[in-house]
Structure 1
Amino acid sequence: MRDVRPAVVISDEAGGSYGHPDHRRTHAIVVRALDLAAQEGPGTRGTPLAGVQPVHAAVAVAEDRLRAANASVTEQVRGLGPLGALAQPLLVPGTDLPSLAVPAEGVDLEVDTTSVAPAVLAALRAYRSQVQGSTIPVLDTPLQQRRATDQLTPDQAAIGWYALSNDVAQPILPVVGLVVVRGDAARLRDALAGLPALARPGTDGAAPASPVAAPDVQPLMTPPSAGRIAAVVSCLVLGVLVGVVTTVVHRWRLGDLPLGMLLALVTIGAGALLSRAVTRGAGLLGFAVGAVGAIQAMAFLVAGGDVLVPGDTLGMVWLLGSVLAIGVAAFLPDRWVGRHRDRGAEAARP
């Protein structure tokens, strides 16, 4: 602080934007740093900040704007296919607003960020460990970037969307709102006078307009990692092995009890659950392709002159039951595979 001597310091708000503990701590550190920068004491370095202190502002968004943005994103992502690193459909935002949402009159300044939208999108896509399915539709077209940027306006509800690791779609807003934590709004506006700023959201009492119709562009999928590809291939191989072994033993009986069939169905269901737990939908699909393919192939193979899956009742039960067991594993609740998906509006925490 003493070396740079900034006019404005921007941080998360006290609630951590959406309750993230690291973001809450960042806010507290900035507040403490501003206090210490103005004090003299033993061991301090640099000249203490004297006179007018920097304005401390926090990122915020007007509640009406965020509700309109969430509604816009909900409308656009419904019905889209699997997206992102986990190949899952994006969930729509919830109705609860995060802590960075404040009444419109509480936002001291909004800065139009549409001119830097390509940089925002590039930054989101560079953060592949946490961000997936990010898109600004008008930029994901063959149009020249400058021309596409001109189609974005600050009165749009949302110019795009992204999701964190909980698969909940979040809007990309055309503006950044700021609220003054320390200092006054006039000094904040003076310090940022060179930026394309708006006086205050909703000055006419109207909600932000819905976005203009965008080209029919699907959100880009985060490229799968080598580890994920290897995991899916492993699930495919596991499916083949399980399909072969269970087909061999499915006709074994203990007296009149079809114990082999029971063990085979349980085994194939457990293998499907394991694959789903490892890589979600992609792993389960790989296992299903391997297992069902192996079972169907062995229905035409012979061993000692006998088919392994004859066309009797037990054989038909196995052919259909194996598919049903995988289907049951696919639709069991997430808690069966150790996953608890948050369908609320809060973003996932790293």
Structure 2
Amino acid sequence: MASKDSRCVLVTGGAGYIGSHCAVEILQAGHDVIIIDNCCNAVTGTGGIPESIHRVCQITGKQVKYHQVDIVDIEALRDVFSKYSIDVVIHLAALKAVGESVKRPLDYYKVNFIGTCNIVQVMKEHNMKNLIFSSSATVYGHSNAVPFVETLPTGIDITSPYGKSKYFTETMLKDVCSQDKSWNMILLRYFNPVGAHPSGLLGEYPSGTPKNLMANAVQAALGNIPHLKVFGNDYDTPDGTGVRDYPHVVDLAQGIAAALAKIEDNNNSCGLRIYNLGEGRGYSVLEMIAALEKASAKKVPYVIEKRRPGDIGTFYSDPTLAWKELGWKATRSLEERCKDLWHFHTMNPHGYLKN
């Protein structure tokens, strides 16, 4: 039973990597959680419910409501909103691979931009105007100097449809807030979350081919793939490989929970806010490989390939504003990130599949 101060929180994409960790934090904060997900990247468990959601319940000892819904289906969204008195939407559902977005731009605009328009439309119809949106550091483009701070210009020299889809969505949300001051929107610009829940029950194990660095690095360490592909070693970085900000996924989930608390603390009158959620420093691809090798005591074989379209050399955050206004910062070490990542994969050699 939730406390009298609890909120009914809808988490879109809640069966996914960030979404499942977010659901844990929101439940542990005493709120009720409803999850919608189209299961395009989830393993189905008992009762047709994604296995990740079963594990969220196992970790927290609490239950969630789940509906298999695609955010591009506005009528399905309306049906969910008609069933519950939702107080806040945490919107994570999206396509998220930079390289894939270059090959499938229409899909990325459809899901990331139009899907978010659908959510905002249905929220407006129900006069519920509290939204936490999962944006991306890619909105800064590649012309800004690092570290990226929230006051930098966005939308310039963005190199991928993924980044553009997030920038266009941010622009739409800002316009909505400008037109109607009763909206409360917190836009969270994520960097590159890694790691897993320390219990070993939740982590990232895509149902298809992994699309990010550490998921592939683990597969190479386990011998499931012959080697990790490192895209580019000729960037203007200390070792030539790309440098990114890699916060622990639990830190990131706690940042989302801090954003929810910001809306609560301001009595639904926080207006439009934008925050970076990152550690505030960058690690190169080769540094990340070395850290995983240390945590796993395994070799990570890799080969150098050409740069991917849409990639940039260096980006990492300045998370000072999140600390000042949300009281949040990333605290878990790189060693902890790799240890938790490896722990999840050794406990779940086939991901969320039983066999």
On whether the aligned pair clears a TM of 0.5, the verdict is no
TM bucket (normalised to shorter chain) is under 0.3
TM-score by length of 1: 0.26
Higher gyration radius (CA): 1
TM-score by length of 2: 0.26
